[in-house]
């Protein structure tokens, strides 16, 4: 069965990742786009989901690629209309919003998927396999990128609920929550520009349930070489996930490398969930971010200028 899917919010992530993944997967057909500012040639275009729902365009599912601050209202519209929903990360502005969507989807009998795309990076599954049975001694996460390159002009990211540096940092946490044992935040420092509501830099200290320290350094002002690395020291050697999880190193030797299949992996999982009548709603990465905002010490940083 072909899944007719509509994209709501046609920004950079939708164009760079969702459209190619939909085109690549024969199980999906792009049925419509709902966006205030852009469309796709040859595809019905609407300004918002409400206008799409009021039309005669037939579709089965939506991929919500809007900023998280407005995602809950749109997701509820889709669920209430009986549509399956894929939530771009982060899945909502608050944990309570996602719990409400989970309950609504279950009551309506539709699929709801929280999409942690970095978990589908090609080296993450091999890393899980390698770590199985080993004792973790320490973890260092370095997730540093240039916001001006990856999020140009996206002012929503600096507003309350926009997450700031946690927008990329949550990708690291999404990997950590599947390759590590449970871990908990002990302290955090959030560097918030004087003209923003969300941090541009953060240092986090966690500890696993087995007592291993987990440290994370997130930076949104990294220039030059970008860093998306997780280094795990174990009793069986050192594992390093680099390039956002696409390369696996063991004791400095490249052990696994593959192509970027993150979003094709997400859409494959979405199609399987729909076929099985199930949902996948995991908020563990978002919970760690919420803990950082709850527990973190805020330090005023210089104003951010695009």
Q: What is the pLDDT of residue 254?
A: 97
Q: Do 174 and 129 belong to one domain?
A: yes
Q: Per-residue pLDDT tens for 24-40? A: 999 999 999 999 988 89
Q: What is the pLDDT of residue 258?
A: 86
Residue 225 lies inside a defined structural domain of this protein: yes
Q: What is the pLDDT of residue 259?
A: 84
Q: Do 61 and 153 belong to one domain?
A: no
Residue 177 lies inside a defined structural domain of this protein: yes
Domain-ending residue, one of 114, 135, 169:
114
Q: Do 100 and 155 belong to one domain?
A: no
Instruction: Flag whether pLDDT at 21 surpasses 90.
Output: yes
Q: What is the CATH number of the domain that holds 244?
A: 3.30.360.10
Owning domain of residue 47: 3-114
Asked about 89 being catalytic, the answer comes back as: yes
Q: Do 89 and 135 belong to one domain?
A: no
Q: What is the CATH number of the domain that holds 30?
A: 3.40.50.720
Residue 251 lies inside a defined structural domain of this protein: yes
Residue 245 lies inside a defined structural domain of this protein: yes
Domain-ending residue, one of 95, 114, 133:
114
Q: Per-residue pLDDT tens for 271-299? A: 999 999 999 999 999 999 999 999 999 99
Q: Tell me which of 12, 83, 89, 137 is the catalytic residue.
A: 89
Domain count, the chain: 2
Please report which confidence band the pLDDT of residue 45 belongs to, taking 50, 70 and 90 as the band edges: very high
Q: Do 141 and 218 belong to one domain?
A: yes
Q: Do 228 and 167 belong to one domain?
A: yes
pTM for the structure as a whole: 0.94
Q: Do 61 and 140 belong to one domain?
A: no
Q: What is the 3-state secondary structure (H, E, C) of the chain?
A: CCEEEEEECCCHHHHHHHHHHHHHCCCEEEEEEECCCCCCCCCCEECCHHHHHCCCCCCCEEEECCCHHHHHHHHHHHHHCCCEEEECCCCCCCHHHHHHHHHHHHHHCCCEEECCHHHHCCCHHHHHHHHCCCCEEEEEEEEECEHHHHCCCCHHHHCCCCCCCHHHHHHHHHHHHHHCCCEEEEEEEEEEECCCCCCCEEEEEEEECCCCEEEEEEECECCCCCEEEEEEEECCEEEEEEHHHCEEEECCEEEEECCCCHHHHHHHHHHHHHHHCCCECCCHHHHHHHHHHHHCEEEEECCCCC
Domain-ending residue, one of 91, 114, 137:
114
Residue 271 lies inside a defined structural domain of this protein: no
Q: Do 100 and 217 belong to one domain?
A: no
Q: Do 103 and 141 belong to one domain?
A: no
């Amino acid at each position: 069965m072909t899944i007719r899917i509509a994209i709501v919010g046609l920004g950079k992530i939708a164009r760079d990742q969702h459209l190619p993944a939909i085109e690549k997967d024969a199980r999906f057909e792009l049925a419509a786009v709902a966006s205030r500012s852009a469309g796709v040639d040859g595809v019905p275009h609407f300004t918002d989901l409400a206008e799409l729902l009021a039309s005669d365009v037939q579709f089965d599912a939506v991929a919500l690629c809007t900023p998280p601050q407005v995602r809950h209202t749109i997701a509820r519209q889709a669920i209430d209309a009986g549509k399956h929903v894929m939530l771009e990360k982060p899945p909502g502005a608050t944990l309570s919003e996602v719990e409400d969507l989970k309950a609504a989807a279950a009551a309506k009998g539709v699929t709801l998927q929280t999409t942690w795309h970095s978990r589908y990076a090609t080296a993450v599954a091999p890393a899980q396999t390698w770590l199985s049975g080993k004792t973790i001694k320490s973890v260092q996460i370095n997730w540093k990128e240039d916001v001006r390159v990856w999020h140009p002009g996206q002012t929503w990211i600096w507003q309350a609920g926009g997450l700031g540096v946690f927008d990329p940092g949550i990708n690291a946490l999404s990997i950590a929550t599947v390759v590590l044992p449970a871990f908990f935040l002990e302290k955090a420092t959030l560097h918030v520009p004087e003209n923003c509501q969300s941090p541009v830099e953060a240092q986090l200290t966690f500890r696993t349930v087995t007592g291993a320290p987990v440290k994370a350094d997130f930076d949104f002002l990294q220039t030059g070489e970008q860093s998306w690395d997780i280094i795990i020291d174990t009793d069986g050697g050192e594992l390093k996930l680099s390039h956002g999880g696409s390369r696996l190193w063991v004791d400095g030797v490249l052990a696994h490398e593959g192509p970027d299949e993150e979003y094709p992996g997400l859409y494959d999982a979405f199609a399987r969930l729909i076929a099985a009548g199930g949902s996948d709603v995991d908020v563990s990465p978002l919970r760690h971010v919420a803990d950082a905002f709850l527990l973190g010490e805020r330090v005023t940083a210089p104003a951010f200028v695009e």
